[in-house]
């Protein structure tokens, strides 16, 4: 009977700590895999690994989201190494909750050195245009933008996850936002703006 009691406690801890983050894990997996079925598989494998490792997880030492994204990142890299790389189309509508329809200005904002400015600019482009721009970023910039601007991790959490100094996160984020802006503006035509 004690085994069931222990299992119940582990399950309870999983549902209290990990389960609330499942949608976020899936959102990030969609950014990485670009295909819903692959993202669901990646998210499921990530959550399973988290469940298996939960007994060793120290909530005081690590943030839950950063820990899950570390597992996600490592699982994704393992899948790339094993040749399971897939592509496909997704919609940002399934990744983020967009505010109610906004009136689109004739020219998008070009200053995106803060997350709010980046959000304002990206809201002026079609979902596919933003996805393509994110895909075009080099890995270290894409991960930094994904962790800080999409996942809302602090600079410190992103630095710990990426295993780089906080200053490196700040500079990669600055540069990544600039590259994202440049990519969007370079490819931006009237047909790519939201209507």
Same domain, 22 and 68: yes
- CA dist list (Å): 179 to 19, 46, 86, 111: 34, 29, 25, 12
| Number of CB atoms found within 10 A of residue 40's CB | 14
Number of domains making up the chain: 2
Summarised one tens digit per residue, pLDDT across range 145-169 is: 888 987 888 899 889 888 899 999 9
Task: Answer yes or no: is 37 within a domain.
Answer: yes
Residue at a domain's end among 81, 114, 145: 81
Would the pTM count as exceeding 0.85?
no
**Residues 108, 136 within the same domain:** yes
Residues 76 and 107 in one domain: no
- Region 70-84: mean pLDDT is 84
């Amino acid at each position: 009977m004690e085994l069931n009691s222990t299992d119940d406690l582990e399950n309870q801890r999983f549902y209290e700590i990990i389960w609330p983050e499942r949608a976020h894990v899936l959102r990030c997996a969609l950014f990485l895999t670009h295909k819903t079925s692959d993202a669901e598989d990646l998210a499921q494998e990530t959550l399973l690994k988290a469940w298996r490792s939960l007994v060793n997880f120290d909530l005081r030492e690590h943030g839950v989201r950063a820990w899950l994204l570390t597992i996600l990142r490592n699982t994704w890299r393992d899948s790339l190494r094993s040749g399971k790389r897939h592509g496909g189309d997704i919609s940002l509508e399934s990744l983020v909750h967009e505010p109610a329809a906004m009136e689109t200005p004739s020219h998008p904002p070009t200053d995106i050195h803060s997350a709010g400015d980046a959000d304002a600019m990206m809201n002026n482009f079609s979902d596919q245009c933003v996805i393509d721009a994110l895909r075009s970023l080099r890995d270290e910039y894409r991960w930094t933008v994904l962790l800080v601007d999409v996942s809302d991790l602090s600079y410190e959490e992103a630095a710990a996850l990426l295993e780089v100094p906080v200053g490196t996160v700040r500079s990669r984020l600055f540069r990544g936002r600039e590259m994202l802006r440049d990519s969007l503006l370079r490819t931006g035509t009237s047909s790519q703006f939201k209507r």
